[in-house]
Structure 1
Amino acid sequence: MQQKIKEDNAKVFALLSHYLNHAPDLITQEEMDEIVQSGVSHEYAFAVLLAAAFGLDIVDNADDKQLFNHYFKSMLHKLEAEEYYKNAYYSQIKIPAIQIGTSELKYEQYKPFEGFVCNDIVRTEEGRQIPQIGFFDTAFRFPAILENNRIWMTITPNEIETMKEPVEQAFGNVLTYGLGLGYYAYMVSEKENVTSVTVVESNKHVIDLFRQYVLPQFKHGHKIHIVQADAFEYAEEQMGKGKYDFVFTDLWHDVSDGMDMYLQMKQYEKQCPGTVFTYWIEKSILCYL
Structure 2
Amino acid sequence: MLTPEKIKKYNNEIISRISAFMNFNSDFITSEIIDELVDECGVDRKYAFSLVLASACYMNIDEDEEDREMFENYFPEMIHYIKKEDYDCDPYYKNIKVTPVKEGNWEFREATIKPYELIPFDDLKEFDDGRIIPQVAFFDTEFPYPVIFENSVEWMLVTPNEVETMRDAIKIAKGKVATYGLGLGYFPYMTSIMDEVESVTVVEKDPVVIDIFKRYILPQFPNKEKVKVVCADAFEYAKEVAPKENFDYIYADTWHDPSDGVEMFEKFKALEHLCPNTRFEYWIEKTMKHYM
TM-score w.r.t. structure 1 length? 0.97
Cα distance between partner residues in 2 of 1:11 and 1:178:
32
Checking the alignment, whether the CA contact within 8 Å between 1:102 and 1:205 is kept in structure 2 is: no
SS state at 2:191 partner? helix
3-state SS of paired residue (2:271):
helix
Identity %: 43
| Structure 2 match to 1:185 | 188
Most deviating of 167-176 and 54-63: 54-63
Q: Which amino acid in 2 is paired with 1:14? A: S
1:155-207 deviations in Å (ceiling 9; x for gaps) = 10010011111111000110000111111101000011111100000000000
- 2:19 equivalent to 1:17: yes
Deviation at 1:152, TM superposition (A): 1.4
CA contact (8 A) 1:100 1:205 kept: no
Q: Please give the alpha-carbon distance, in whole angstroms, between the structure 2 residues aligned to 1:103 and 1:228.
A: 18
Matched residue, 1:44: 47
Which whole-Å CA distance do the structure 1 matches of 2:263 and 2:228 have between them?
27
Match of 1:7 among 6, 9, 13: 9
Which residue of structure 2 lines up, in the alignment, with residue 64 of structure 1?
67
Structure 2 segments unaligned to the other structure (5+ residues): none
8 Å Cα contact 1:170/1:194 also seen in 2 = yes
Per the TM alignment, residue 99 of structure 1 is displaced from its structure 2 partner at its CA by 2.2
Residue 35 of structure 2 aligns with which residue?
Answer: 33
Amino acid at match of 1:61: D
Which residue in the other structure is 1:270 paired with?
Answer: 273
Match for 2:260: what amino acid? D
Structure 1: distance between partners of 2:113 and 2:81: 13
Aligned-residue CA RMSD (Å): 1.1
Q: Report deviation, 1:287.
A: 2.1
Q: Confirm or deny: 8 A CA contact 1:100 1:209 kept in the other structure.
A: no
SS at match of 1:163: helix
* 1:157 equivalenced with 2:160 (yes/no): yes
Q: Distance in 1 between matches of 2:269 and 2:151?
A: 30
The correspondence for 1:175, drawn from 161, 175, 178, is 178
Q: How does 1:62-211 map to 2 (within 5 A)?
A: 62-211=65-214
Structure 1 residue 53, shift from structure 2 partner: 1.4
Deviation string 1:203-225 (CA, Å, 9 cap, x unpaired) is 00000000011111111000011
Give the 5 Å matches for 1:231-250. Answer: 231-250=234-253
Deviation at 1:136, TM superposition (A): 0.4
Off by >6 Å, runs of 4+ in structure 1:
none
Distance 1:149 1:30 in 2: 29
Aligned AA (2:22): L
Does residue 259 in structure 1 map to residue 231 in structure 2? no
- Is there any run of 5+ residues in structure 1 with no aligned partner, and where? none
Within the candidate set 220, 223, 245, 1:220 is matched to 223
C-alpha distance in 1, partners of 2:99/2:277?
40
CA distance in 2, matches of 1:249, 1:194: 17
Work out whether residues 145 and 154 of structure 1, in 8 Å CA contact, stay in contact via their aligned partners in 2.
yes
Equivalent residue letter for 1:228: C
Give aligned pairs, total.
289
- How far off its partner does 1:3 sit? 3.3
1:288 is aligned to 2:271: no
SS at match of 2:61: coil
Give the TM-score taking structure 2 as reference length: 0.96
Q: Given residue 262 of structure 2, which amino acid in structure 1 is its aligned partner?
A: M
1:247-266 Cα offsets, whole Å, 9 max, x none, are: 00110111221111111101
Which residue identity does 1:9 align to in structure 2? N
Aligned residue identity for 1:285: M
